[in-house]
Chain A
Amino acid sequence: MLRRTFLGAAAMLALTGAASAQEPLKIGLILPMTGPFASTGRQIEAAAKLYMQQNGDTVAGKKIQLIVKDDTGTADVTKRLAQELIVNDKIAVMAGFGLTPLALAPAPLATQAKVPAVVMAAATATITEASPYIVRTSFTLPQATVPMAEWAAQNGIKKVATLVSDYGPGIDAEKAFTSAFTAKGGQVENLRVPLANPDFSPFLQKVADAKPDALFVFVPSGIGAQFMKQFVERGLDKSGIKLIGPGDVTDDDLLNNMGDVALGAITTQHYSAAHDSPENKAFVEAFKKANNGMRPNFMAVGGYDGMHLIYEGLKKTNGQGGQALIDAMKGMSWTSPRGPVSIDPQTRDIVQNIYVRKVERRDGELYNVEFATIPNVKDPVKAAKSN
């Protein structure tokens, strides 16, 4: 009880703090900068800084201050940092959130303090339902997965084995793919791999013996390389089993280091560094230049668009945070490096094109080359609920 009144008071302070003209507008960026998911944090931080560098640090006559905090990929740390940022730093908006549990932990704080939270990475479908102040600029796994199932069904694939890491997003991907693919008359066998087990050999052997037309895979991007190597080591690439999945396994950040084992993998996702548009060319070039040649991945584009959403929202509200800001963000649309995107006013989730891509070698480097587009995909989980 005491805690609640305390938080309420904190929220009031946060609001009045953000509204006064002399104070800079503070954006709290909470990311895993160390630990196993540090690459997510690095990408998003670099993208957010790039956006500020390109678009200046003044919005609606107020200075923008970016506060980056490291939650090490642990949910209770995220929550503590969010509370500190809201109470002590009086931030106008928080952003970041590398993984699903990290986005869910501070959701009640966002609601109580009426501070908008921009999710730039975490991809479980239900996150935006956790608080009316959450808005997302990354993607949802079902959003990237259902088009994969449809593409597979249209391209002569009848029997698929799925292999996912046994945690929230993995199960999300498995369910979305299985229901979409069986609805089209396909056959699916499900396998789940423990998250902490990098030796895939028994699972891959099971796949080899089942002889499906394609293997659908979702693993967190860090261990994607490990998976690809073992897929090839087991000779599955030569036995005619296609490798398909949402784009996490061929993450742009790591793809080039995987070597030729990744060639030919077919994935669906919302962003590839090889996306052919002037906006993307400029983005990739500037990002590489600012970050020592590091290639932006789907995390970076989520961070970049998240900053764009915050900037444009603040312009619309003339620097006001809270309810006004989240209302301003709803329905906003713009052209991102990934293509045209908008924020669904009902679900506060992003609506975007999903691309079907194949790993190919271009100018000596491996890229996800897009060859088909499914325009304006909404998150299928929430779309199914509202019908």
Chain B
Amino acid sequence: MLTILFDGIAYGMLLFVLACGLAVTLGLMNFVNLAHGAFAMAGGYVTAVLMNRYGVPFLLTLPLAFLVPALAGLVLERTLYKQLYTRSHLDQVLFSIGLVFMAVAAVDYAMGSQQQMIRIPTWLQGRVEILGIQVGLYRSFIIAVCGVLVVALQFILTKTRFGSRLRAAVDDPRVARGLGINVSVIFAATFAVGSGLAGLGGALGAEILGLDPTFPLKFMIYFLIVVTVGGTTSITGPFLASLLLGIADVAGKYYVPSLGAFVIYTLMIVVLVLRPQGLFARAR
């Protein structure tokens, strides 16, 4: 029972790291970026390539799995995404889904379509018993890393100058510009960090979720569910939503295996019917 809870939390944490960048772009910048999963995939492939071709240790690949997608995000934001901020949501959806298909085809061409396998270090393999609960070491590692990230993000967003500027830029870009805040730099930095976090999530998740060129399409639904259920105006909303979904998904598959795949979708529908603005967001 507690093991299920633990697995659910680990899964939820992973979902959060993957999806929080999307919560930022969609919620704070009001931009529908369906290509978010492509950045996650990029991070996963950075780790896989570094480990399998160059023998870099797993932990050292993680910062790069953050930096490479972040840089890619920055470049794309400056060149392509910037043009679409003022366009309609339909244009944004079409544009970003196009990017997804291009990313899928490009990775397929460059790396082949087979599953990429990474080997996590031996000290992260296996499981230990804590207070009678069977706990997987790698999942504990994910929970620790993601926990630190959540706290750091929440701190940056609510307590730092950058955070308040970002919130101001989102609430009313024109007034923020008038007050001398460089809105486009802030948006670019936020976009890059969001992409980087997705990349980190992809690298951490490769072991559990698998990694192949269809990754962005396979998990797009999950990201969107996290963001819709959680609401998009804060970090805590998507965070709690991720945990809820992770636990519901794992527990649903454990207790009612025949219906397991439907549990999170049912949950999403119920939440959207009862609270269309998201579970934890204030009504607009």
Closest Cβ neighbor of B209 among chain A residues: A198
Set of chain B residues within 8 Å of A240, measured between Cβ atoms: none
Does B88 touch A at the CB level, under 8 Å? Answer: no
Q: Are B113 and A233 in contact (CB under 8 A)?
A: no
Given known A38-B112, A201-B11, A222-B115, contact A233–B138 (CB-CB < 8 A): yes
Set of chain B residues within 8 Å of A197, measured between Cβ atoms: 253, 261
Does A192 touch B at the CB level, under 8 Å? Answer: yes
Q: Mark A157-192, 1 if CB is under 8 A from B, else 0.
A: 000000000000000000000000000000000011
Q: Are A223 and B210 in contact (CB under 8 A)?
A: yes
Q: Mark A188-226, 1 if CB is under 8 A from B, else 0.
A: 000110101111011101101000000000000011011
Q: Are B113 and A196 in contact (CB under 8 A)?
A: no
Does A375 touch B at the CB level, under 8 Å? Answer: no
Q: Are B115 and A225 in contact (CB under 8 A)?
A: yes
The minimal Cβ–Cβ distance linking B184 to chain A, given in whole angstroms, is 39
Does B218 touch A at the CB level, under 8 Å? Answer: yes
Q: Which of chain A's residues 211-267 have a Cβ closer than 8 Å to chain B? A: 222-223, 225-226, 229-230, 232-235, 254, 257-259
Partner of A202, one of B7, B127, B207, B210: B7
The minimal Cβ–Cβ distance linking A197 to chain B, given in whole angstroms, is 7
Assembly CA distance A36 to B125 (angstroms): 27
Q: Are B209 and A199 in contact (CB under 8 A)?
A: yes
Q: Are B254 and A257 in contact (CB under 8 A)?
A: no
Closest Cβ neighbor of B114 among chain A residues: A39
Does A35 touch B at the CB level, under 8 Å? Answer: yes
Does B208 touch A at the CB level, under 8 Å? Answer: yes
Q: Are A203 and B257 in contact (CB under 8 A)?
A: yes
Count of A interface residues, CB-CB < 8 Å: 32
Q: Are B125 and A233 in contact (CB under 8 A)?
A: yes
Set of chain A residues within 8 Å of B260, measured between Cβ atoms: 194, 202
Q: Are B258 and A201 in contact (CB under 8 A)?
A: no
Does B108 touch A at the CB level, under 8 Å? Answer: yes
Does B93 touch A at the CB level, under 8 Å? Answer: no
Closest Cβ neighbor of B11 among chain A residues: A199
Does B89 touch A at the CB level, under 8 Å? Answer: no
Assembly CA distance A39 to B113 (angstroms): 8
Closest Cβ neighbor of A38 among chain B residues: B113
Does B3 touch A at the CB level, under 8 Å? Answer: yes
Q: Are A202 and B253 in contact (CB under 8 A)?
A: yes
Assembly CA distance A230 to B112 (angstroms): 24
Given known A192-B258, A203-B257, A205-B3, contact A222–B114 (CB-CB < 8 A): yes
Q: Mark A276-304, 1 if CB is under 8 A from B, else 0.
A: 00000000000000000000000000000
Assembly CA distance A327 to B127 (angstroms): 58
**Residue among B4, B214, B253 with the most chain A CB within 10 A?**
B253
**Residue among B112, B115, B212 with the most chain A CB within 10 A?**
B115
Q: Are A202 and B115 in contact (CB under 8 A)?
A: no
Q: Are B126 and A235 in contact (CB under 8 A)?
A: yes
Q: Are B127 and A226 in contact (CB under 8 A)?
A: no
Does A34 touch B at the CB level, under 8 Å? Answer: yes
Set of chain A residues within 8 Å of B257, measured between Cβ atoms: 191-192, 202-203, 206
Q: Are B114 and A233 in contact (CB under 8 A)?
A: no
Q: Which 8 A-B pairs have the closest CB atoms?
A: A202-B253, A194-B261, A202-B254, A198-B210, A38-B113, A202-B250, A201-B7, A226-B210
**Chain A interface residues toward B at CB < 8 A:** 34-36, 38-39, 191-192, 194, 196-199, 201-203, 205-206, 208, 222-223, 225-226, 229-230, 232-235, 254, 257-259
Known: A197-B261, A203-B253, A205-B254. 10 other contacts (CB 8 A): A35-B108, A38-B112, A198-B208, A201-B208, A202-B250, A202-B260, A206-B254, A232-B126, A233-B125, A235-B134
